[in-house]
Structure 1
Amino acid sequence: MRRHLDGLRPGVDWAPELDGLAVLPAHGEVWVVDVIDGAVQFLQDLPHFCVSLALVRDGEPVAAGLHAPLLGETYLASRGGGATRDGRPIAPSAKTDPAAALVATSQPPFIERHPGAAEEAGRSLAAVLPRVGAVRNLGPTGWQIADTAAGRLDAFWQFGRDHANLLPGALIAREAGAVVTDTAGRPWTSCSDSFLVAAPALHDRLLRALSDRADARDARA
């Protein structure tokens, strides 16, 4: 990728891999890559992993690609240019009832480096599980976001910073028409401490479920 892309866009830096706590530059362009999103699955000889790449300009993703070699599928997106899987446009689910929804969640690598993220993940799972059809973790973070963009999943959420995996999927989801925020409903950025993507008709209802998680935490405090 470096040989090919450095030739196409000379002088663009590459962000460090596997460091979701690093701050991306506020200005200029940088490549953000995870050569194996889903490395745990790869090491365990499971098929759910992908190559993840985004071109980030002034802190925002402007081009993204995800390729799952064993599935033989590729998601692509560009800002203002839409999103595709294997060349065909994608769109999120049209479901309106959370009880029929298949949603997914995950955690950033080295979650112990993200204060409070493990605790929030546990509380959120307890809040969401009774309200949806099923919750799964299907492997690579970026691919699950892209599958939400394409309607295979109905929503995905995560706590902690994980920009190498979240940025490409966030652009694909936005361009497909899914709603991308943090778990408080604010616009998501690479500095956000949580992430939520959902089909448009389900997003607000999942936000309410996650708010109940926060209310329960505050009541105990």
Structure 2
Amino acid sequence: MTANHFPQAHTSDNELLEPMQAATHAVARFLNGAVVQTPAATTWGDFAQRFDALDKPAADLLREHLSPLRPQAAWGEEMETELPASGEVWVVDALDGAVQFLQDMPYWSISVTLVRDRRPVATVLHSPLRAETYTAAAGHGAHRNGRPIQPSLKTDLKISLLGTSQPPTIAAEPEAIAGAGRSLSAVLPFAGAVRNLGPTSWQIADTAAGRIDAFWEYGVDDSNLLGAALVAAEAGALVTDLACRPWQAGASSFLAAPAQLHDQLLKILNTSATP
């Protein structure tokens, strides 16, 4: 994937949020009208066919709405995004949580992020079934349905709800598989509960809003993490890798947490890093 440089005169990142929301709402109308086939697919071919029948027209709708906003931006799609060193790219997932959607479960959403020079600058995450939308633009804070959000105020891991997940390509990352297993074993004795509640991006946005107290993941997962990382950072959470470096695209680990929980989790996760 290549990207062209964006023009100097353009709508600001914050002003893009409204038409980005309109794009996700158009996709929501399409997906809300879709009939989930039952029983669930029993072969990969059947699953892929059902997924493509929904994802392709939904992605086309996003392209139709977003391309005029940044005509020079490249187009990235989930699991195929290779970010260029410079320029703008739309990183989108028209059906984030497709596995759940096709199982007739409610844990899915729509994700749209504008990335510039490998950094997210504007993002919209929309959950049609919850009628909720997370938005963030660099330097303008993070919001849910137009209201500012902030991370959890908890200080005690024993009463904390933590989230974790895995990248869709984790089978190709044996170190991430091992890290995920070790970290879960390390965290469980200290946490109130650990859950995987659907799309990675939405779980991190819920962490930004204090519904989930912290979230971690092993593996490279740029397409799911870019927009969510912006929401979390703009809400005031610490967003790092597990070496406590600011998270950036290409990192092999991720942690989003309020400051008072971040250090506690980082120590536990790093203790688990050595087999």
Q: Same fold (TM over 0.5)?
A: yes
User: Could you list the runs of 4 or more consecutive aligned residues of structure 1 that deviate by over 4 angstroms after TM superposition?
Assistant: none
1:82-103: CA deviation from partner (whole Å, max 9, x where unpaired): 0000000000001111111100
Aligned residues: 214
Q: Provide the rounded CA distance (Å) in 1 between the counterparts of 2:231 and 2:162.
A: 17
User: Aligned to 2:120, what secondary structure does the other structure show?
Assistant: strand
Structure 1 residue 7 displacement after superposition: 1.0
Q: Which has the higher contact order (CA 8 A, sep 6+)?
A: 1
The reply to whether residue 105 of structure 1 matches residue 149 of structure 2 is no
The offset of 1:23, in angstroms, is 3.1
**Which residue among 60, 65, 71 is the counterpart of 2:119?**
60
1:8 aligns with 2:69: yes
Partner secondary structure for residue 260 of structure 2: helix
Query: In structure 1, what residue type is equivalent to 2:64?
Result: R
1:1-221 matched pairs, under 5 angstroms: 1-19=62-80, 22-215=81-274, 217=275
Contact 2:78 2:224 in 1 (8 A): no
TM-score (normalised: structure 1): 0.94
Q: Which runs of 5+ in 2 are unaligned?
A: 1-61
Q: Which moved more, 1:22-31 or 1:137-146?
A: 22-31
Deviates more, 1:106-115 or 1:187-196: 106-115
Cα separation, 2, equivalents of 1:61 and 1:159 = 20
Contact in 2 for aligned 1:182/1:193 (Cα 8 Å): yes
Q: Percent identity?
A: 60
> Which consecutive unaligned segments of at least 5 residues does structure 1 have?
none
Q: Over the residues paired in the alignment, what is the CA RMSD in angstroms?
A: 1.0
CA distance in 2: counterparts of 1:8 and 1:211, whole angstroms: 42
CA displacement, residues 115-139 of structure 1 (integer Å, 9 cap, x when unaligned): 3111110000001111111000000
Question: Which structure has greater strand proportion?
Answer: 1
- Aligned 8 A contact 1:106 1:141 in 2: yes
**Counterpart AA for 1:6:** S
What secondary structure sits across from 1:24 in the alignment?
coil
Distance 1:102 1:120 in 2: 20
For residue 204 of structure 2, what is the amino acid of its counterpart? Answer: I
Question: Counterparts of 2:73 and 2:90 in 1: how far apart (Å)?
Answer: 7
TM normalised by structure 2 equals: 0.76
Kindly indicate whether the alpha-carbon contact (under 8 Å) linking 1:42 and 1:48 is maintained by their aligned counterparts in 2.
yes
Preserved contact between residue 23 and residue 191 of structure 1 (Cα < 8 Å) = no
